[in-house]
Structure formats: C-alpha cells, structure tokens
Structure 1
Amino acid sequence: MATERLVIVGGDAAGMSAASQARRLKGPEELEIVAFERGHFSSFSACGIPYWVGGDVPERDRLIARTPEEHRERSIGLRMRTEVTEIDVAGSRVRSRDLESGEVAWTGYDKLVIATGARPVRPPLPGIDAPGVHGVQNLDDGQQLLDTLAGTEGRRAVVVGAGYIGVEMAEAMLKRGFEVTVLNRGEQPMITLDPDMGRLVHTAMDNMGITTVNEAEVTKVLTGEDGRVRAVATEDREYPADVVILGMGVRPETTLAEAAGLPLGAYGGLLTDLAMRVRGHDNIWSGGDCVEVLDLVSGRERHVPLGTHANKHGQIIGSNVGGGYGTFPGIVGTAVSKVCELEIARTGLREKDAAEVGLQYVTATIESTSRAGYYPDTAPMTVKILAERRTGRLLGTQIVGREGAGKRVDIAAVALTAGMTVEQMTALDLGYAPPFSPVWDPVLVAARKAVAAVRKAG
C-alpha cells in the first residue's frame, strides 16, 4: 500500500492538532505529514500574549505547547519559516517559499489541511505602519512589542479598539506602568456585549485609571521628526502616544483559499461541512480562525476566532484524515475575558443578533454576588439573559462582575447547547456553598426573572 501525504498549511493550533491526531491513528509508513509554518514558533497560545506582555506570564516559552523539534520527533515534517504562496487544487499541490533562503518548491498532496488562521484588522491609515505601532497576533508580534516597551522612555499608550484584545492589552499596559487611553469606535467597549452591559465595563475601566473614549474614529497616526509614533488622531482631537497597540479585531486569513477558488462565506472564512471538509472538495479540510462555523442559536454561519474551537477542529480533522471519524456540530458563541479585576463573559445572542435573525425576545437583568452575602470577600456581578418571547428558549447570557463571575457563563453555554428554556434552567441542580455562591446562583436568579418576563409578554 502506497504512503499517502498529508500537507498542512499553518503550524499553530488547528494545523498541528490535526497533524498530531492523524499521527496517532496512522504511522509514518502509512501517512507522511508535511506542515508549513511561516513564523518562528509552532503550537503557541496567542490568547496568552497579553498576559505575557503584562508580566503575568514571565517567559515567552511558557506559551509554547510543543516546539518544532517535538513535532519532528513524532515524525511530523514541520518546515518553519516557510510560507505557502499558492494552492493548486487541480494539481493537488502547494507552492512554498523558504523565507530564509528564498528557495521555491512545489509539494504534492493526497490530503490538504488549510489552517492559515486570521489576520489583524489594520486599516490603511496614514502612519499606521510607523515604528511604535504594534499588532499582537503571534509571538513575534509580542516580542517586538516588548522590545519597543524596553526602549521607550515615554509612558503613554494608546490602544485602538475595545474588544477582547483591546481591553486585555489595556490591562497589560497599565501593569507596565503606562498611562492608557483606549479609543473605541463603538457606543461602549466590548461590542460583543449589549451596550447596557458594555457601559458597566466602561465605568469599571475608568475606575481603574484607563481612559476610554467611545465613538472615536481613528483617522491617522501622527509621527515625530524621528519617524516614530507621537500621537493618534481622531476626527476631533489628538491623543499623545509613545506606543500604539492595535486591537481592532481579526479577519479570516483566506487569501490563498480565495485565489484557489475555494468557497468562502459572508465573513470571508472558508465554508466546511460537519467533518470540517471544505465544501465541494473531498480531499481538503480546514479549521481554526480561517473558517466560519454554524451558530447553533441563530442558525447562521459566523466567524468566531478562538483557540478552543481551533483545537477541536484540529482533533476532528486529524481523526478524519487519519481514518477515524469526527464532526463539529457548531458553537453557541461563548467567550470570557478580564481587564484587571473585572471579568466579562457572554454566550449566545445579543439583542442586535436576535433582531437580525427575526427572533422576538425578552430580557432580564439582575444584580447579585459571587458568594453568600454574609461571606467574606463577596463580589458584585450583573447578569443579563435573553429569552425567546413565545417559547422561553434561552437565547443568550452576558455577565460582568468581579472574581467568580466569568466562568458562570458556562452554565448558560450548556443550557444553550441543550436548547433549554429559562424555566428549565431554574431547576438546574447547581453546586452550592456560601464560599461559592448565594443559595440561588446569579444565573438562575436571572433565569427566574426571565421566566416572569416571558409570561408577562404572553
């Protein structure tokens, strides 16, 4: 039996999880694995970069799950600093270029995995590429930012964007002793929340000493005589800056896929079936931040770039290309983050999302605490629930609070996945003891209030 060749484009979470799982199922005599990674690092945690920059994680290498050498020891031919520049679908081959030597070569494949990830949003503004302006997508970016911080005498940081990356990097800069300004084009920070919940985040950030400016559209980056960044300009004023960090979100990196004629969705991500096989192509799979996935609540495809999904995609792809079987049914949109002591979590739909897909809904918002009110160090939290107006089906949950708030969103994530109503949620048998929650967990208190809202709405 001839040896098959699996080619993987991208050496991070989805790609190398696929490679590792495929290798568990098939040995080198059955399946040759060749992976291409254009960067300096493989299998790293991009989610950990803000905590490395902020000093919570003392060493870069702690963010690396498996080195190129470790992959190669498992008979995975990982070629670092090698960029794939073309996918020839008809010829079942990819063209690559060694970024050190410039050498170009074609590599044929029997099976192909596209795991090219996402690229940071970097609008073509004047000065956006000036020294001192940084994105934070990979470990190379993180190291460059740290090098800049080490050589910067001024202590003014401007973060452009107030999503997950923006608020996490604002915290990192605050811990580094910088005066931090966050410029947010939205009504409130954290566009993944409804504005009323985002307002809580804004207030908390202000109290931490982070200046957040909403509805601030950046028009250009200003530079000094030395060419380095000196300020960020919006339509009505300038904000002095010694360093600028871009936290404006990401887009699927599907340039190669689009050029190869592979199917893309509304967000520019690759479209796959349940087995993570690219639609219409029996020998091509894709996963991670470059794909769109089914939202189980709205019924639509979405682009949700998270390491949790990427690793699951890789496991499923590796099982399928290795002769096993696996499917990825979809997501409910769960995410959690923090800025200093504030925890921010959401799952399911926002009010805007529900309206866009034609769902009528009611909302319920409550204020509670992380522990029994009489227990020491209890902390406040706010929980908001969306439920379908007629059926009471849970549609979404948002939580903003202090220690013990964020991971409570997992209760709602499970309920969403199971298709539960808010009334069914109130009967959940959750763990209770005064150090961990009030008698009624805050999520269940919000569910009870949502039940009342559904009944009132008829």
Structure 2
Amino acid sequence: MAAERMVVIGGDAAGMSAASQARRLKGPDRLEITAFERGHFTSYSACGIPYWVSGDVSGPDALIARTPEEHRERAIDLRTRTEVVEIDVPGGRVRARDLATGTESWTGYDHLVIGTGARPVRPPLPGIDAPGVYGVQTLDDGQALLDTLAGRDGGRAVVVGAGYIGVEMAEALLRRGYEVTVVHRDDEPMATLDPDMGRLVRTAMDGLGITTVGGATLTAILTGEDGRARAVATEDATYPADLVILGMGVRPETTLARAAGLPLGAYGGLLTDLSMRVRGHENVWAGGDCVEVLDLVSGATRHLALGTHANKHGQVIGANVGGGYATFPGVVGTAVSKVCDLEIARTGLREKDARRAGLRFVTATVESTDSAGYYPGATPMTVKMLAERRTGRLLGTQIVGRRGAAKRVDIAAVALTAGMTVERMTTLDLGYAPPFSPVWDPVLVAARKAVTAVRAAGM
C-alpha cells in the first residue's frame, strides 16, 4: 500500500507541531510529509523577539526550537523559502513557488494542514512601507530591526499600537537608550484590559519615561529626503522618529484559504471542528493564528494569536492525521505580558465582551500585595474580577502588578475552564507562606468581594 501524503503550509508552531506529531505516530513508509515555509526559519518563538531586541536573550538561535535541518533528519521534506500560492481543494494539491528561482510546481496531498499564521495590521497609509518602519512578526523582522539598531546609541522611537507587542517593544527600545513614544487609538494602553486597568498600565509606563498618547489615529509615516521614516503623523499631532515600530495587532492570514473557498468566521479565521478539521472538508486541517477558536466563557468563536494555542492545535492535528484521536475544546483567553517590572495579565471576558455576549455581570476590584504586607519587598497588585450577576459564575479576571502578579491569573484560568463560581473559588486551597502570598491570596480576596457584589445585585 502506498504511503499517505501529508502537506503542511507554514513552518512554525502549528504546522511543524502537526508534522512532528504525525511523524512520531507514522513512519515514512506509511506517511510522506512535505512542509512549505516561505521564510528562512522554522519552529521559532515570535513572542521572544522583543526580548531579543532588548538583549535579554541572544538570537535568533535561542528562539528556535527546531531548525529545518532537524526536521529533515526526522524524514520531513521541509522546503524553506518556498511559498504556497494556490490550494486546489477538489484536486487535492497545492501549487508552490520557489522564492529564489521563481519556479512553480504542484504537490498532491491526502491530508492538508494549513498553518499560515497571522499577518500584522499594516494600513495602506503614506510612508507605511518606508525604510525605518518595522514589524516584529517573524525572526526576519527581528533581524532587520537589530541590523538597524547595531552601532546606534539611542535616538527617538515611535511605537504605533499599545497591545502586547507594542508595550514589550517600548520596553526593549527604552532599554537600548531610545526616547520612546507609544501612540494608540484607544483611550488607554492594553485594550485587552478594561480601561480602568489599562489606566494603571499607562501610569506605570509614564513613570518609566515612556510617553503614551491615547486616542491617536495614525494618518501617515512622514519621510525625509532620503525616503526614510522621520516622523509619525496622527490626526492631531506629529511625533519625530528615527525608527517606527508597528504593533497594531494581527489578522488571520487566510488569503489562500479564502481563494480556495474554505469556510471563514467573523474575524476572517478558518473555522474548524474540535479535531481541528476544517468544517466540511474531511482531509483539510488548520491550526494556529489562522483559525478561530471557541471561547469557553461566551460560547462564541474568537481569534487569539498565541503560540500556546498554536502548538496545541498542531499536536491535535498530528495525532488525528497519524491515526490517533485528539480534540481541542476551546480557550478562555489567558495572556500575560510585562513592561519593565510591571506585569499584566488577563483571562476570560472584559466588560465589553460580557455585554456583547448578552451577559449581566458585576465587577469587583481589590488592591493587595504579592506577599504578606510585613514581608520585606512586598509590592502592590490590583485584581479585577467579573462574575455573572445571577449565578455568580466567574466571567473574567485582570491583574496588574509587579513581582508574582502575572502568573496568578492561572488560578482564574483554571476556574474559568472548570466553570466555577466566585463563591466556590473562595475555598480554593492555594499555597501560602509570607514570602509568596498574604494569608488571603489577592485572587481570593477579589473572589470574596465579587461574591458580595453578586449577593447585593440579587436577581
């Protein structure tokens, strides 16, 4: 019997996790695997790029989990600098272009895995593609930025966008001696938080010497006589810049999927079932930043570009293609970040998410410390919790603080996944010792206050 053919589009987390897992389950005599990657690198941590830029980690080798050569040693025909330009679903084949030579060829498949990731938001504005304007989506992007930074002793940098990438890049450039301005369209940075929690982030960033400008809509990148970026223009002001970083978010990269007629959701991501099989297509799978996933709290699909999810998707796909069985049930939307010593975390729904889902809710916000108040070095922490008004079901948690703040959100993430009420959370048996927590952990203090709010709200 001839070996089955598995074709993977995209050589990063989802695609290569799928290929590796399928290879573990089926040898080359039973499954041929061909993977196409348009870049130079595979299986790398894009999340680590800001820490490479800041100098915390060396790179790019430190950010690569498995090189193309290592994949090839495992009998995976990995073709870098090769871009898939067409998916022929009825014919069960893809057309790929060698970016070095321009030659094109068709490759047939029995199983197709789409792991095309996400593309950064890059609005069609004057100067947006000028030299001196950088994205930070791939290791090639990171290398291009570092090549520019080499030999420079600071300057003026403008970061457009104040999400995870924006605040992390602001820190990285601040530490490299740059005068940093962050412009963003929302009133407060970190729109993944509610505005009252985002305000805490802004205050901390201002205290670090990072200038934040909210409510600012980008209109153009202004260039000098040499064509390089020299300033960022918004509707209200102009900000001089020696370099510009774009951190305006990402969208699912589903151009190929759309052209092939595959089903897309409200956010433009591929729609799959729990096995990560594209809906309505028995032999087409998708995972990573190009798909939409089920939100276990709201019950709706959403787009979340996180490497944690992408690797899990790949494991599920690889298990299923390899003859096993696995599912990906959904997410609660947990994410953490930092800017210098400020830690930022969220899981579940924000207030506007809950309203959009038609949920009635109460909120509770508490201020506490990461360790017992009398223990040397105790630092402040703010925890905000949302609970469903009638049932007391936990809907979301946000945390802003310093040492030990961010990973506390995992308590709430587990509670959300389990469908716990805030009252049930108050009895959780968490670890305690003065260096690690007050007697009542800040998350449990927030849960207790949320219980009071639920009871006060009644029906």
Question: Into which bin does the TM-score normalised by the smaller protein fall?
Answer: over 0.9
- Provide Cα deviations, 1:130-186, integer angstroms capped at 9, x if missing partner: 100000000000000111112656600000000001000000100111000000100
Cα deviation for residue 224 of structure 1 reads 0.6
Alignment of 1:19-418 (within 5 A): 19-150=19-150, 152=152, 155-418=155-418
Q: Distance in 1 between matches of 2:57 and 2:426?
A: 39
Cα deviation for residue 58 of structure 1 reads 2.1
- Provide Cα deviations, 1:34-80, integer angstroms capped at 9, x if missing partner: 00000000000000000001110023100000000000000011000
Q: Distance in 2 between matches of 1:255 and 1:60?
A: 28
Cα deviation for residue 272 of structure 1 reads 0.1
Structure 2 residue identity aligned to 1:252 = P
Q: Distance in 1 between matches of 2:405 and 2:285?
A: 37
- Tell me the C-alpha RMSD between the 2 structures: 0.7
TM-score by length of structure 1 reads 0.99
- Provide Cα deviations, 1:283-309, integer angstroms capped at 9, x if missing partner: 000000000000000000000000000
Q: Distance in 2 between matches of 1:153 and 1:121?
A: 29
Cα pair 1:345 1:406 within 8 Å, conserved = yes
Cα pair 1:10 1:35 within 8 Å, conserved = yes
1:432 aligned partner: 432
Cα pair 2:337 2:406 within 8 Å, conserved = yes
Cα deviation for residue 310 of structure 1 reads 0.2
Cα pair 1:10 1:116 within 8 Å, conserved = yes
- Provide Cα deviations, 1:187-230, integer angstroms capped at 9, x if missing partner: 10000000000000000000000000000111100011111111
- Provide Cα deviations, 1:364-411, integer angstroms capped at 9, x if missing partner: 000000000111111110000000000000000000000100000000
Q: Distance in 1 between matches of 2:246 and 2:196?
A: 25
Q: Distance in 2 between matches of 1:365 and 1:65?
A: 39
Cα pair 1:162 1:247 within 8 Å, conserved = yes
Cα pair 1:21 1:322 within 8 Å, conserved = yes
Alignment of 1:416-455 (within 5 A): 416-455=416-455
User: Which 10-residue stretch deviates more, 387-396 or 142-151?
Assistant: 142-151
Unaligned runs of 5+ in 2: none
The 3-state SS of whatever aligns with 1:107 is: strand
Cα pair 2:153 2:177 within 8 Å, conserved = no
Unaligned runs of 5+ in 1: none
Q: Distance in 2 between matches of 1:276 and 1:58?
A: 34
User: Which 10-residue stretch deviates more, 418-427 or 148-157?
Assistant: 148-157
Number of positions where the alignment pairs a residue of Structure 1 with one of Structure 2: 458
Q: Distance in 1 between matches of 2:374 and 2:222?
A: 53
Q: Distance in 1 between matches of 2:153 and 2:207?
A: 26
Cα pair 1:152 1:242 within 8 Å, conserved = no
Cα deviation for residue 237 of structure 1 reads 1.2
1:11 aligned partner: 11
Q: Distance in 1 between matches of 2:7 and 2:41?
A: 18
Cα pair 1:154 1:242 within 8 Å, conserved = no
TM-score by length of structure 2 reads 0.99
Q: Distance in 2 between matches of 1:424 and 1:98?
A: 57
Q: Distance in 2 between matches of 1:101 and 1:84?
A: 14
Structure 2 residue identity aligned to 1:315 = Q
Q: Distance in 2 between matches of 1:183 and 1:125?
A: 16
Structure 2 residue identity aligned to 1:70 = E
Structure 2 residue identity aligned to 1:309 = H
Structure 2 residue identity aligned to 1:32 = E
Percent identity, aligned pairs only, is 81
Q: Distance in 1 between matches of 2:197 and 2:154?
A: 34
The 3-state SS of whatever aligns with 2:75 is: coil
The 3-state SS of whatever aligns with 1:65 is: coil
Q: Distance in 2 between matches of 1:166 and 1:322?
A: 39
